[in-house]
Amino acid sequence: MNVTEIIDLFSNPETIHTLTVGQKSIGVGFTVALGMIITFAALVILQFVMTAMSKFLDDSKVPEKKTAPIKKAVPEAVTPVPEVSRSNDEEVIAAITAALSVKLKTPMSNIIIRNIKKVNDNHHVWNNVGVVEQMNNRL
């Protein structure tokens, strides 16, 4: 039997029972190979489309705004912080410095944090729960 005849019989649920194990194996192998070829071809076409779109929609040609570099300030007199919360404060300062560095597109060595003040949160507890749920749903 020809492969096309086997595939024709393989596609009909009434005649599939008349095929031998070898013919069924050929039909399964051909079906799997054909599915893989079609999937690979679709992925290649998708890659070409994405490459073409990135060339047409390239934003790198837009001039960026130049920001003035942040100058290092002379450290002022600092009151000593108790050693109990020192490690936690250093982690908070490191996180804030990293966030500012990314946002301002400047090295972390150019950013100096002198003071951190906690802001009083006057929101209701349910408001905070709603904000947390919204943030969790976006992740």
Q: What is the tens place of the pLDDT at every residue in 57-76?
A: 876 655 556 666 666 554 55
pLDDT at residue 81 in the model: 47
pLDDT at residue 62 in the model: 53
pLDDT at residue 125 in the model: 80
pLDDT at residue 66 in the model: 63
- Separation CA 110–CA 68 (nearest Å): 12
pLDDT at residue 36 in the model: 97
pLDDT at residue 41 in the model: 97
In sequence order, which ranges of the chain are alpha helices (DSSP H)? Answer: 3-11, 21-56, 86-104, 125-138
Cα separations (Å) of 117 from 28, 32, 81, 83, 92? 68, 63, 13, 18, 12
pLDDT below 50 — which residues of the chain?
A: 74, 81-82, 84
Which residues does 16 contact at the CB level (< 8 Å), separation at least 6?
9, 10, 24
pLDDT at residue 126 in the model: 83
